[in-house]
Structure 1
Amino acid sequence: MARSQLLKDAVSGKESIENILLRLKVILSDLDNENIMNWVNGELQGYKDKESVPSYRILKGRIIGTYLINFSVKYKDAPVPLEFLISKEEIDELRTVRMTDGIATIQNILRGENRENYGFVIPTAYCHAISTDDFQIAGMRVRIGSNQLDGIVSCVKSKLVEVIMELEKEFENLDELDIRSQIKENESVKQVIYNIENIIYDKSVKVGDKNKIERSRIGHLFGHLWEGRDKK
């Protein structure tokens, strides 16, 4: 069976991921599945809820900051030894970043000058709250490596190819962007939907599970963890 132009474009990289997603959105809408469409819309427009982002968008960053030790030694843009101030669980929570931006925005970040210094600011109030007389934290941020953002892009590309290949097994003429008539005649459509959900969310993740993490005092005190992206 001849491969669709959609698959060829996804593999060649000549078309943007956004373009592939938009074409695929038209096709997948005929399957009338909320989980699948939430993923497509999330990658196109960004995820509205941080708790709903897929596992491949949950990153572990490096915490760096400016702090003063014993009122004499000052460190700037240096790793912060938080293990002396808070628990390992709270450190892990601080390091955890859920990338909600659409895939095009992430690619723009990777093309920008700030790609090697991209990060999120930790609220100043929290920095002051955990400081001690001997360890004063002026500010902290979580730095995300460009390789981690590249990983998100690569993962989305891979999933797009797998989804298109799965559709090609059951439907013809994907380039027409219309499989509705074939769905009516196709008794295995439920299996196709199940397979695509597994590709998108990974077999190890239960579809619909928002992968919630129990919040510590960080979330309870400040609601939103980040004040905003680091503009440096």
Structure 2
Amino acid sequence: MKKTFLLQEVIDDLVNTDKSLSAPLMKLNYFGRLIKNQDLIDYTQNELNGYRDKETIPDYRRTIGTLYIDLQTYYNQHSRQLPFSLIEEPYRQAFKYVYVREGIAAIEKIARENEKSDSGGQIVTPLPMEMLHILQEPARKLYQADVRIDVVGAKLAGNASIVVEIPNAIRTKLLDFVMSISDTFGYDIEIDSFNKKAETNNQTIIHQMNTTINNSGDGKLINTGNENKIDSNVALYKGDIARLQKELRDQGIDEADIAEISKIVISEKPNEEKAILGEKSNGWISKVINKSLNGVGKIATGISSNLIATLIKQYYGM
């Protein structure tokens, strides 16, 4: 009996923003096992169960941190901020970011709780005692006193909004990835046929992962469909809404959708530092891609969410 993996099921899960990302990640993990692609297995496993190794954590799972130290002076303790610039390399980079390691189910739960709360809040990572000696000299230089100052505790704090942005980033990147491999192998992949050229086909899968999932959001245009028509030398000017509308119109996006995203980009602020679009922009992209998949309007069937996201990012100057 031939086994066929249906990529359309994964796409349906991804465009349904009410559905947990655990479902498409689990299906792609299963697909990775069927085709024996360790890169895909590792990525989906990490997103499902959480990241142990900091070196493998994607950029969209980190946020700039603020370093707080607890100072002991005789019997008194004070909590103060310590700028990263006072810490020497190579230690400085170790304190720069707060990393979110949890699996996607835990992140989605925290994100739901944050959305219900009016306070932005922070995520906090306590630093181990073994690292405190690195902070002693910088702290004493900054906070000079007539008595001995010791750093007895420290923590990194980051903006809790990162846990809301992570699911959006994963959903958008996975949608790009799945549509890219669908363009190459079709929406229904017959596993036995795929595995007859396993080495070559898996290299294609890995390449698509590197250009859609693992890219750092540098604004490069990823053009994955034969019907995607965009000049890679064209750069939208920051704040030029007319230019953005023209480029979207050239992709076959209807006027009502263009009017909707025009209002969104004017009012919504993205995370420029991490090159992540806002929640409303990502939701709009998912809706447009869903229209494309269902053959609604004149939207090019091969258009990718990465391409649309790039156009919107160029409007923001990202």
RMSD, aligned α-carbons: 3.6
Query: In the TM superposition, what are the counterparts of 1:94-173 in structure 2 within 5 Å?
Result: 94-112=95-113, 116-124=121-129, 126-127=131-132, 130-131=135-136, 132=140, 133-173=147-187
Give aligned pairs, total.
Answer: 197
Does the 8 A contact of 1:171 with 1:182 survive in 2?
no
Superimposed CA distance per residue, residues 104-132 of structure 1 (whole angstroms, 9 cap, x where no aligned partner): 22223334479723211112454367434
| Deviation at residue 81 of structure 1 after TM alignment | 4.6
Contact 2:132 2:154 in 1 (8 A): yes
From 59, 62, 66, give the equivalent of 1:62.
66
Q: How does 1:176-191 map to 2 (within 5 A)?
A: 179-183=190-194, 189=201, 190-191=203-204
**TM-score of the aligned structures, taking structure 2 as reference length:** 0.51
Please list the CA deviations of residues 45-73 of structure 1 after superposition, one character each: whole Å capped at 9, or x if unmatched: 1223222223333443111233357x699
SS at match of 1:154: helix
Could you tell which deviates more after superposition, 113-122 or 55-64? 113-122
Inter-partner Cα distance in structure 1 for 2:180 and 2:84: 46
Would the alpha carbon gap of residues 73 and 191 (structure 1) be closer, same or farther in structure 2, given more than 3 Å must change? same
Query: Is residue 213 of structure 2 the alignment partner of residue 200 of structure 1?
Result: yes
Change (3 A) 1:135 1:39: same
- Alpha carbons of structure 1 residues 125 and 34: separation in structure 2 relative to 1, 3 Å: closer
Distance 1:93 1:25 in 2: 31
Compared with structure 1, are the counterparts of its residues 130 and 108 closer, same or farther at alpha carbon in structure 2 (3 Å cutoff)?
Answer: same
Q: Which residue identity does 2:25 align to in structure 1?
A: L
Amino acid at match of 2:97: T
5+ residue gaps in structure 1?
205-232
TM-score by length of 1: 0.67
Secondary structure at the counterpart of residue 171 of structure 2: helix
Instruction: Kindly state the Cα deviation for residue 186 of structure 1 after the two structures are TM-superposed.
Output: 7.1
- Which protein has greater RCO, CA pairs closer than 8 Å, 6+ apart? 1
Paired residue for 2:81? 79
Match of 1:34 among 31, 38, 53: 38
Cα distance 1:73–1:196, how it changes in 2: closer, same or farther (>3 A)? same
Change in 2 beyond 3 A, CA 1:88/1:79: farther
Matched residues in 1 for 2:76 and 2:37: separation? 58
Corresponding residue for residue 22 of structure 1? 26
Q: Which runs of 5+ in 2 are unaligned?
A: 1-6, 141-146, 218-318
Distance of aligned partners of 1:81 and 1:169 in 2 relative to their CA distance in 1, 3 Å threshold: closer
Shift of 1:83: 5.2
SS at match of 2:122: coil
Contact 2:63 2:159 in 1 (8 A): no
> Which structure is larger by alpha-carbon Rg, 1 or 2?
2
In the TM superposition, residue 13 of structure 1 has moved relative to its aligned partner by: 0.9
CA distance in 2, matches of 1:82, 1:193: 36
